Amino acid sequence: MTRESRARAARRIATAAAYGGGGLGLLGVGFVGLLVTESRLAVRAVGLLEGDPPRADGVYGAAFADPAGEQEPLVLGFLGDSTAAGLGVRRGHETPGALLAAGLASVAERRVRLANVARSGGRSADLAEQVLQVLPHRPELAVIIVGANDVTKRTPPALAVRQLGEAVRALREAGCQVVVGTCPDLGTIKPVRPPLRWVARRLSRELAAAQTIAVVEEGGRTVSLGSLLGPEFAARPEMFAADRYHPSAQGYATAAMALLPSLCAALDLWPDEHEPAAPGAEQVLPVAVAAAAAAGRSGTEVTADERIGDFGRRWAQVKLRLRFGLPDAADSTPEPASANSHTGTGDDRATKR
C-alpha cells in the first residue's frame, strides 16, 4: 500500500470519525471467512501470560528531590492497553511507564510521579474512563498507547479514532500535554500468517495514520510504534515475552527509547538543535501525508506545525528524533506513594490491577 493511498484512507477514517460516520468496508464476505479461520489459528498459536502487569506507580528520581520540599514531582499519566500497562514483564521497573518516568526524571532533573491507569485488554472505548481516573492526579504529561485491541476486536476504525480524539481533547483541556504511541503493526507478530498478516498490517497502519490525524488536530503529538515490533523484533526473539505477542523487558526498553525524546519535547526539555537536521529527518507536510509517512517508519514523531498561522494543525512536522539510552531503571525503584497521592506502592511484584 503506497503512502498516498494510506494517506487517503487515513483521511477518510478521520473524517468519518469527526462526523460520526462508520468505518471502511475493506473486505469481501468470502475473504472475511478465510480471515476468521486464520484468526482462530493465530489465537491458538499465541500463548497466554498468567497474572497481571506489575504495579509501578510511585515517585521516580529520588536523587533530584528538592531539599526545601517546595518543588512537587512532575506527574506522568499512562493510559491505554496491555502494552501501556506493561504486560509481559515481572518487575515494575521493567514496564514502559517506569522506564519513561525514570528517563524523564533524569532529563528534567526533577522527581516524576507515575500514575498508570492502563489496563490489559484496553481499547479506545476505555479511554474515557481512564481519563477520569488519571485527571485527579493532575498530570502535566500523559502517554497513551492504544489501538492493537481495536484491530483484533474489530472495532470500527472511525469509532476508535473518535474515542481517542475525545480522550486527547479532554486531557488537553485540562492543561496536560499528550503523546500517543500509535497502533503497532500487528502483521509482524510471528503466529500471524498470510493472508491474515497482510490484512493485519494494512489495518494496523491505516488505524495508526488515522490516529495521528486525530491526535495532531486535538493538539497532541504521536510517535509511530509500528515497525518497532517489526524487523528489529523479528531478528531478536528476546524482544518478545513468552506469548510471542507482547514485548519483553528488552522490547519495552526499545519502545521507551523511541518515546522519551517526544516526551521531553512536549515539556520543552529537548535540547536546542543547533546542527541542521539530516536529510529527511524533519519535514513539514499536510497532516494526512505526515500521518501516512509516520505509520510506515517507527520512531517518527508527528506534531502540529504552529508556525503556519491559523491553519497550523492542517500541517504537521515530521521528525526522526535521536534516541538516547535510558537510565538503569533498576536503580530507579519508585519511592512509596503517600496516603493521599492516589498512586500505588511501587512494589515490583505483580498485583491485581
The answer to whether 128 touches 167, Cβ cutoff 8 Å, is yes
| Annotated catalytic residue, options 82, 106, 227, 332 | 82
Catalytic choice (124, 126, 224, 246): 246
The residue annotated as part of the active site, out of 243, 341, 342, 347, is: 243
Burial 215-247 (b: 16+ CB within 10 A, else e): bbbbbbbbbbbbbbbbeebeeeeebbbebebbb
Residue 82 annotated to the active site: yes
Quick check: is 246 catalytic?
yes
Distance CA 341, CA 278 (A): 44
Residue type, 6: R
Q: Which of 191, 172, 192, 188 is closest to 180 using CA atoms? A: 172
DSSP 43: H
Closest CA to 215 of 242, 248, 180, 249: 180
Torsion of CA 241, 247, 249, 255, to 10 degrees: 170
β-partners of residue 285 are 316
Catalytic sites, residue numbers: 82, 243, 246
